[in-house]
Amino acid sequence: MPFKKTAQTYSASINTVTLGTGDKAVTVGGSNVDALCSFDAPIEHKPLIGFEITDKGIDATLPKMAEVFAGCDTVAAQAAKAAELPGVDFVAIRFESADPNGADMSVEDCVAMATAVAEATDAPLCFEGCKNFDKDAKIFEAVASALQGRNALFMSAREENYKTVAASVGMAYGQKFGAESAVDINLAKQLNVLIGQMGIQNNGYVMNLGSAAVGYGFEYLLSTIDRVRAAALGQSDAQLQLPIVTPCAGDCWGVKEALTEESEAPEWGAREERGIQMEICTAAAVLAAGSDAVIVGHPDSAATLATFVADMM
């Protein structure tokens, strides 16, 4: 009996969220098919690739990073360069040094850096915090105010600070934000319900379901993304029909495979190549599970993933 292919499409679809303005604006979400299954139905908006730079700047100990960003002595200059890299759709700035338990960079310094980045590039922007609930809320509110009109994405609003972040970033200043939960479909839905009760429409924010590098509890992350997408499309669960954005850079470049110097483990090969491989494997799997955008931290990762996405489209 000949095989008859049946297209798997859904009556429900993922909401769209637009980042940035003008000709550089990009849209995330919108599909009504399983992840990357463009053979079932056209996918109007391709998965997006973001490039992350921390407030400490690029890691110049990595040869390719030092070469690509040569002459870019400030975070703003590095962000402008990142926006021009092949495959990059938006630029993410992570305020790593703002952690009160670390360098405790001030909110004012964060705003100054964000403003400089916004002046250096007209690419869509994303801002990530230091994982301190109170400090992140203050940073996001101040930066969102300073960059009104840029339609930037702020990652993330969590259970501990969503009221402040959603009210300031989303309602007061008209920016976008990410609802971050801890790798659990029930927690993700609960947070979305709470945000909806504030009167915020679900085309004004995205979901961040958590992150992990391959080999580090990664299977649970993939299963969570898969379950969320299945509920959104297969069960028409409106509370989960939001685009998923997954930051990968921090986790992938923070594991031993990407940190151990070649002199300590020569059999592992070059450290930079290991980090790139970790990042590509992680981000590609996340996209295949259902994420609508990923954030990486190396030019080779961004270019490879962009080629992967283009081939699947």
In angstroms, rounded to a whole number, what is the distance separating the alpha carbons of residues 244 and 294? 9
Per-residue pLDDT band for 221 (boundaries 50, 70, 90) equals very high
The token duo for 174 is 């008209």
The 10 Å Cβ neighbour count of residue 6 is 7
Q: Is 102 exposed, middle or buried (0-12, 13-18, 19+ CB in 10 A)?
A: exposed
What is the pLDDT averaged over residues 253-275?
93
Cα-based angle 148, 153, 156 (whole degrees, multiple of 5): 120
How far apart are the C-alpha atoms of 260 and 181, rounded to whole Å? 30
How does residue 156 score in pLDDT terms, banded at 50, 70 and 90? confident
pLDDT above 70 coverage of the chain, percent? 100
What sign results for the dihedral spanned by CA atoms 105, 107, 108, 111? Answer: positive
Please determine, for residue 70, whether its predicted confidence score (pLDDT) is greater than 80.
yes
The average pLDDT across 229-237 equals 95
Q: Report the number of secondary-structure helices (H) and strands (E) in the chain.
A: 11, 10
Cβ atoms of 15 and 192 within 8 Å: the answer is no
| pLDDT band at residue 245 under the 50/70/90 scheme | very high
Report how far residue 137's alpha carbon sits from residue 110's, in angstroms, rounded to the nearest whole number. 12
Q: What is the phi/psi pair of residue 86, to 5°?
A: -55, 130
Question: Is pLDDT above 90 for 66?
Answer: yes
Q: Point out which residues pair with 206 in neighbouring strands.
A: 178
pLDDT band of residue 39 (cuts 50, 70, 90) is confident
pLDDT score at 202: 80
Q: What is the average pLDDT value for the chain, to the nearest integer?
A: 94
Q: Hey, what are 257's tokens?
A: 């495979």
- Neighbouring-strand partners of residue 229: none
Helix (H) or strand (E) run with residue 220 in it: helix 218-234
pLDDT value of position 49: 98
Residue 26 banded pLDDT, cuts 50, 70, 90: very high
What is residue 215's predicted lDDT score, i.e. its pLDDT? 87
pLDDT at residue 125, rounded to an integer = 98
Q: From start to end of 233-278, where are the E strands?
A: 245-247
Does residue 145 have a cis peptide bond before it, meaning omega lies within 30 degrees of 0? no
For residue 122, give both structure tokens: 């007209």
Over residues 205-217, mean pLDDT: 91
pLDDT of residue 175 exceeding 90, the answer is yes
Residue 21 has pLDDT above 80, yes or no: yes
Contact 127, 168 (CB under 8 A): no
Tokens of residue 266, six digits: 């020569």
In sequence order, which residues have a C-beta less than 8 Å from that of residue 174 and are 6 or more positions away?
148, 149, 151
Q: In this structure, what are the phi and psi dihedrals at residue 163, rounded to the nearest 5 degrees?
A: -60, -45
Mean pLDDT score, 298-305: 97
* Cα torsion angle, 168, 171, 172, 176, sign: positive
Give the pairing type, strands 16-19 and 26-29: antiparallel
What kind and span of H or E run contains 169? none
Beta carbons of 163 and 140 less than 8 angstroms apart: no
What pLDDT, on the 0 to 100 scale, is given for residue 40?
A: 86
Confidence of residue 297 (pLDDT cuts 50, 70, 90): very high
Whether the pTM exceeds 0.75: the reply is yes
Q: Determine the average pLDDT of the residues in 129-139.
A: 94
- Report the pLDDT value the prediction gives residue 249, as an integer from 0 to 100: 95
pLDDT at 108 over 80: yes
Q: Is residue 5 scored above 80 in pLDDT?
A: no
Positive or negative: CA dihedral 220, 222, 227, 228 = positive
